[in-house]
Amino acid sequence: MKAREVNFDGLVGLTHHYAGLSFGNEASTKHRFQISNPQLAAKQGLLKMKALADAGFPQAVIPPQERPNVGVLRQLGFTGTDEQVVEKAGTQMPQLLSAASSASSMWVANAATVAPSADTLDGKVHFTVANLNNKFHRASEAGTTEKVLRAIFRDGSRFSVHTALPQVAMFGDEGAANHNRLGGDYGEPGLQLFVYGREEGGNEAPARYPARQTLAASQAVARLNQVNPGQILFAQQNPRVIDQGCSTTT
Nearest to 63 by CA among 51, 83, 46: 46
* CATH number of the domain that residue 232 is part of: 3.75.10.20
pLDDT computed for residue 1 by the predictor: 55
CB 248 within 8 A of CB 174: yes
Q: Which helix (H) or strand (E) holds 238?
A: none
> Is 97 inside a domain boundary?
no
pLDDT computed for residue 245 by the predictor: 75
> Is 126 inside a domain boundary?
yes
Distance (Å, whole) CA 13 – CA 66: 8
> Is 109 inside a domain boundary?
yes
pLDDT 10s digits, 109-127: 999 999 999 999 999 999 9
> Is 75 inside a domain boundary?
no
pLDDT computed for residue 82 by the predictor: 97
> Is 72 inside a domain boundary?
no
Low-confidence residues of the chain: pLDDT under 50: 247-250
> Is 191 inside a domain boundary?
yes
CB 196 within 8 A of CB 218: yes
CB 6 within 8 A of CB 53: no
Domain count across the chain: 1
> Is 80 inside a domain boundary?
no
Distance (Å, whole) CA 28 – CA 120: 36
> Is 95 inside a domain boundary?
no
Neighbours of 40 (CB within 10 A): 11
pLDDT computed for residue 10 by the predictor: 94
Domain region containing 140: 7-67+102-243
pLDDT computed for residue 209 by the predictor: 81
